[in-house]
C-alpha cells in the first residue's frame, strides 16, 4: 500500500518538488501537516518535496511574511494553486502573496546555492520558467 501512495504522490507532482519546483532528486514524501501536529499518512496530506525544502519546512505550518510582518500559513500544495503564490524571475522565486513570501523565506528557496543550481538547470533545459516571466 505504501508503495502505491508514494508513486501516486510522485506522479501527481510530475516528479518535481511541489514547493520550489526543483526537478531533480533526492525527493522526499513529505507530510504537509506533520505527524506531530496530527497529520496522517494519506494522499491529501502528502507532497513531493526536494530534500532542501523538506529539511527547511520541517513541521512548520506558518511563517512570517517578510513584507508585512504578519504570521501566515505556509503554501499548502493540496489546497493552494502554485501560480497564485509564486512567480519566476529567471531562477529566483518571487512570492506574490503573504503565504508565498513566507514560504520562500522559511524554506530558504532563494538561497544562493539554490539560485545557482536553478540557473544551471535552466541553461541545460531541465528547468522551464514561463517565457513571459523569464527576465534575462
Q: What pLDDT is stored for residue 131 in this prediction?
A: 57
Q: What pLDDT is stored for residue 128 in this prediction?
A: 86
Q: What pLDDT is stored for residue 76 in this prediction?
A: 98
pLDDT along the chain (136 residues), means of 10: 89 97 95 97 96 97 98 98 97 98 98 96 90 44
Q: Within the chain, how many helices (H) and strands (E) appear? A: 5, 6
Q: What pLDDT is stored for residue 22 in this prediction?
A: 95
Q: Is the peptide bond before 5 cis (omega within 30 degrees of 0)?
A: no
Q: What pLDDT is stored for residue 129 in this prediction?
A: 87
Amino acid at each position: 500500500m505504501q508503495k502505491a501512495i508514494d508513486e501516486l504522490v510522485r506522479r501527481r507532482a510530475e516528479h518535481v518538488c511541489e514547493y520550489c519546483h526543483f526537478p531533480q532528486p533526492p525527493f522526499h514524501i513529505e507530510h504537509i501537516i506533520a505527524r506531530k501536529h496530527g497529520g496522517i499518512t494519506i494522499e491529501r496530506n502528502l507532497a513531493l518535496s526536494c530534500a532542501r525544502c523538506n529539511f527547511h519546512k520541517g513541521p512548520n505550518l506558518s511563517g512570517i511574511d517578510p513584507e508585512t510582518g504578519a504570521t501566515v500559513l505556509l503554501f499548502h500544495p493540496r489546497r493552494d494553486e502554485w501560480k497564485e503564490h509564486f512567480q519566476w524571475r529567471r531562477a529566483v522565486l518571487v512570492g506574490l502573496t503573504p503565504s508565498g513570501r513566507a514560504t520562500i523565506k522559511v524554506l530558504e528557496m532563494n538561497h544562493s546555492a539554490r539560485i545557482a543550481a536553478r540557473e544551471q538547470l535552466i541553461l541545460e533545459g531541465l528547468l522551464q520558467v514561463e517565457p513571459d516571466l523569464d527576465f534575462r
